Structure 1
Amino acid sequence: MNIKHQLFIQCEAFVNKRLQTVEEIISSNQNALQSETKSSAGDKHETGRAMLQLEMEKAGQQLSGIIKMREILSKINIGKISETAHLGSVVKTNKAFFFISISAGQLIIKGKTYFAISVSSPIGSMLLGKKVGDIFIFNKVEQKIKEIF
């Protein structure tokens, strides 16, 4: 299994774990909303329901983000080879390895650190379309692209 495939699998696992966490939060909040009973302290009850509603909205937004990440992953062709950096590329610079995919943070494969970055992130948008030998500056640090695969 090549590095790109392993990175892709780790990104899928990242998304699945986030999905599971959000689904647990939603389920827990739904159960809490259903079990809330009107007590004599009406204001306390309403505050509790409002807080649960806010939590549900937040979880819904997270769920929406997870669905977007899944859509992005579905567009990645890990077999595609290109001279320019694109969605699904691994870009090796003189400073780091980047996997242009989703914002999943640091991934480690065979003892090497890779950064899974989204195309809409500042560094991701900077890398798109770059070729081997190109130089760019990110966070005041000059980096040179050594390899794209």
Structure 2
Amino acid sequence: MDKSGIVRILETTLDERMQHAKKAMDAAQQSANEQGKSSVGDKYETARSMGQLDRDMFARQYESARQERLILERINPQEVHKQVTLGSVVDTTAGWFFVAVSFGKLAYLQESVMVVSSLSPIGRALLGKSAGDSFDFMGKKQQINAVE
């Protein structure tokens, strides 16, 4: 499995999420600022507060994507692992996993890869394991075929 290709897709997707969140954050802030120019009293305060809440929500989304992007930057796609750690691609009887960030299912080269955080339950179950080891996933015992 080509780790560098998976990392590139994840980086691009996270960059797009950051751009979208930044634009939405700026638009919400602008909307909140404009409410102060045209409204008076409680109506003004409510509209301004709603705009600020929207801005804060988009700021959290931006920061979350930025933190995940920083985690991806720590991964060396050329590095091959013997034990599962951050940046490992793991072939198991339950399918392919990439231990990186919480992303979910990713279609890559006609394969389905679950991109999981090392802090997720499945990530924690895989950490430190090697080819031939077993782990529990969704109540079933699974086997690790290979670690890359």
Q: Shorter-normalised TM-score: what interval?
A: over 0.9
Q: Normalized against structure 1, the TM-score is what?
A: 0.92
Deviation string 1:49-84 (CA, Å, 9 cap, x unpaired) is 111111122122222212211110111011111210
Report the number of matched residues. 147
Say if 1:85 and 1:130, in contact at 8 Å, map to a contact too.
Answer: yes
* Matches of 1:63 and 1:109, distance apart in 2: 25
* Matches of 2:140 and 2:12, distance apart in 1: 31
Aligned pairs for 1:45-64 (under 5 A) are 45-64=44-63
Q: CA deviation at 1:38?
A: 4.3
Q: Secondary structure at the match of 1:117?
A: strand
Q: What is the RMSD computed on CA atoms of the aligned residues?
A: 1.3
Matched, 1:116 2:115: yes
* Equivalent residue letter for 2:63: S
Q: CA deviation at 1:39?
A: 2.3
Structure 1 stretches lacking a partner, 5+ long: none
Structure 1 outlier segments of 4+, above 6 Å: none
Q: Normalized against structure 2, the TM-score is what?
A: 0.93
* Matches of 1:58 and 1:117, distance apart in 2: 23
Structure 2 stretches lacking a partner, 5+ long: none
Aligned-pair identity (%) = 32
Q: Secondary structure at the match of 1:103?
A: coil
* Equivalent residue letter for 2:10: C
Q: Who is 1:44 aligned against?
A: 43
* Matches of 2:78 and 2:92, distance apart in 1: 21
Say if 1:3 and 1:109, in contact at 8 Å, map to a contact too.
Answer: no
* Matches of 1:61 and 1:77, distance apart in 2: 27
* Equivalent residue letter for 2:107: I
Q: Who is 2:11 aligned against?
A: 12
Matched, 1:27 2:26: yes
Q: Who is 1:107 aligned against?
A: 106
Q: CA deviation at 1:141?
A: 2.1
